[in-house]
Structure 1
């Protein structure tokens, strides 16, 4: 997702509460540069987070010791890895995070029909091989119904449009991704960095999440020295839908606690 549909609802509420918000697109997506487009490279995206932190620390009226992270889904998984490498952070929020591709991949495969899974992995291989000789990325939809060839066909995958762009305002939101991601996602396990996170960490999970799954996130939170878990009712996109107010209340309370001005 690009920054507007992914963050608009929460960024507005955080700003109304008095916090400055820096939202950004990963390279190759949205308003950011980088070619070829629509390619997910985890190390590149982690580097983009580091650059965003460095940028935020230089902005007027920003205290470099009172910077927090907020990420959702795959970016919520990135929060674990980035927070582990930045002990100066004041706190971090991971909302329905994808923390363990190895745990999620079998469930995602079971949500596909065998034929669709074979076609998807075939496209992933073709895309990866094509990249070696400079061919344009072979794109697939980021979400689709069971039986379609898409990167995710879990029962709640198609909730994204209704949750993130119900008014169809974000006409430039390109909902595709290079197919090679299916060959890499199973090996991405940012939750393994949880034990190195020194700042307070809030992990928000949805108990009926069928995309990122709540159990791996709860386990990862248990390994972080200063983590707390908030359980919401609903599926992967519930924080943008029926559980939005509960999610906002929990996250604002957490931010107010850990970003409050320090009294000498």
Structure 2
């Protein structure tokens, strides 16, 4: 991730005092180069929630919205935030509320 907000956003998720090392094995680059999450979206038969950040510099919203439009049972929720903003605070609460709502509607649990 090379966007200007990527490193500070990513590192903001690391708990203080953690012994986390911001490293990855070089072999991971080969998987990343082949990773195309939108390629098979038209074949997804189950309800799918797309949580899209409008100011996402890591996974831009344009391609994600185009993929979502091809999902037969896709639902889109957009957020006026950047990629890492939705992992903390009020943006996080909004996204999680939408995710829980989606799950309640599509994966009902009976007592």
Q: Give the shorter-chain TM-score range.
A: 0.7 to 0.9
Report the structure number with the largest CA radius of gyration: 1
Give me the TM-score of the superposition, normalised by structure 2.
0.84
Equivalenced residue count is 108
Kindly provide the CA deviation profile for residues 85-117 of structure 1, in whole angstroms up to 9, marking residues without a partner as x.
Answer: xxxxxxxxxxxxxxxxxxxxxxxxxxxxxxxxx
Query: Greater relative contact order: 1 or 2 (C-alpha under 8 angstroms, separation 6 or more)?
Result: 2
Cα displacement (A) at 1:184: 4.5
Kindly provide the CA deviation profile for residues 1-49 of structure 1, in whole angstroms up to 9, marking residues without a partner as x.
Answer: xxxxxxxxxxxxxxxxxxxxxxxxxxxxxxxxxxxxxxxxxxxxxxxxx
Gaps of 5+ in 1: 1-151
Name which of 49, 58, 71 aligns with 1:224: 71
Structure 1 residue matching 2:39: 3-state secondary structure: helix
Task: Answer yes or no: is the 8 Å Cα contact 1:206–1:235 preserved in 2.
Answer: yes
Deviating beyond 2 angstroms after TM superposition, the runs of 4 or more aligned structure 1 residues are 171-175, 179-187
Kindly provide the CA deviation profile for residues 151-184 of structure 1, in whole angstroms up to 9, marking residues without a partner as x.
Answer: x22122121121x23x415x24332112243455
Instruction: Please name the residue that 1:260 is paired with.
Output: 108
- Greater percentage in helix: 1
- The CA RMSD measured in Å over matched residues stands at 1.9
Instruction: Please name the residue that 1:80 is paired with.
Output: none
| 2:27 is the alignment partner of 1:153 | no
In structure 2, distance between residues paired with 1:174 and 1:191: 30
Give me the TM-score of the superposition, normalised by structure 1.
0.38
